[in-house]
Amino acid sequence: KQEVTQIPAALSVPEGENLVLNCSFTDSAIYNLQWFRQDPGKGLTSLLLIQSSQREQTSGRLNASLDKSSGRSTLYIAASQPGDSATYLCAVRPTDSWGKLQFGAGTQVVVTP
Amino acid sequence: DTAVSQTPKYLVTQMGNDKSIKCEQNLGHDTMYWYKQDSKKFLKIMFSYNNKELIINETVPNRFSPKSPDKAHLNLHINSLELGDSAVYFCASSDRGQTEAFFGQGTRLTVV
């Protein structure tokens, strides 16, 4: 059974510092891994999608890596800003899942000015 | 132009009532989902429809009944609401292969 773990559960950094968020999963049989951002009381915003054949994806200040064999993904956010404060969720799409996503519990990030 | 929209955004109702949540996507995706986010913020799949056909039905009480009139719409009807049904319900869509999933803004259901 696929399990997705995100460490740490919460993180507080001063503005300007780089953020490193970790996601691990137990079964490497996945189609892809997706990182989301969730603001309080809001929906999920897709940040990056990494296919199982890819090693990394980049979008602006965001970079996500994927090591499928070791069951790990890392989301890097460069030069953090207070607007980056949110909960970050990673989700894997198992190959036998008919498209459903298996989520981690999230990392709550606070960037202080 | 919202990609995945669900209504209502907030729903407060009494125990025992029946309520529905509606979802629509304009992305042309063939698969839609309902997820539940509990009080601990953990997201879990409930149902999935592919081209109007139910393909995922997780262990959900049969008081919850999804309906997909067409591949752009997926509604969730809940009978005899209980206190434990209070949660945020998210609708999502994707193509069933390797594409990105998009989520609606959520419906916060509070049962009193």
Q: In whole angstroms, what is the distance from residue B59 CA to residue B96 CA?
A: 21
Element (H, E) at B89: strand B87-94
How far is B104 from B29, CA to CA, in rounded Å?
14
Q: What pLDDT does residue B98 have?
A: 63
Q: How far apart are CA A77 and CA A97, in angstroms?
A: 29
Tell me the pLDDT of chain A averaged across its residues: 95
pLDDT (0 to 100) of residue A89: 97
Are the Cβ atoms of A46 and B106 closer than 8 angstroms? no
CB A112 within 8 A of CB A45: no
Span B14-40, pLDDT tens digits = 999 999 999 999 999 999 999 999 988
Residue written as token pair 């979802």: B23
Which residues in chain B (7-36) have CB-CB distances under 8 A to chain A? 31, 33, 35
Three-class DSSP category at A69:
coil
* Of the candidate ranges A12-16, A59-63, A90-94, B98-102, the one whose mean pLDDT is the lowest: B98-102
Collect all residues with Cβ–Cβ distance below 8 Å to B28 and sequence separation of at least 6.
Answer: none
Closest CA to B42 of A26, A33, A3, A47: A3
Interface test mutation site (partner A, options B7, B43, B90, max chain A beta carbons within 10 A): B43
**Average pLDDT value for residue range B63-89:** 95
Q: Do the beta carbons of residue B1 and residue B26 sit within 8 Å?
A: yes
Chain B hits for A87, Cβ within 8 Å: 41
Nearest CA in chain B to A90: B43
Query: Cβ–Cβ of B98/A43 closer than 8 Å?
Result: no
With beta carbons less than 8 A apart as the criterion, state whether A44 and A103 touch.
no
Identify all chain A residues contacting B94, using CB atoms and an 8 Å cutoff: 99
Shortest Cα–Cα distance, B2 to chain A (Å):
12
Q: What angle do CA B92, A7, A23 make, to 5 degrees?
A: 50
Whether the CB-CB separation of A109 and A87 falls below 8 Å is answered with: yes
- In sequence order, which residues have a C-beta less than 8 Å from that of residue B71 and are 6 or more positions away? B29, B30, B32, B49, B51, B52
Strand order in the sheet with A62-67: A4-7, A19-25, A72-77, A62-67, A56-59
pLDDT given at position A98? 75
Q: Is B101 on the interface with A (CB under 8 A)?
A: yes
Comparing C-alpha atoms, which of A104, B56, A51, A53 is closest to residue B66?
Answer: B56
Q: Which of A46, A38, A30 is nearest to A92 (CA)?
A: A30
Mutate to test the interface with B, among A100, A103, A109 (most CBs of B within 10 A): A100
Q: What is the per-residue pLDDT for B40? A: 82
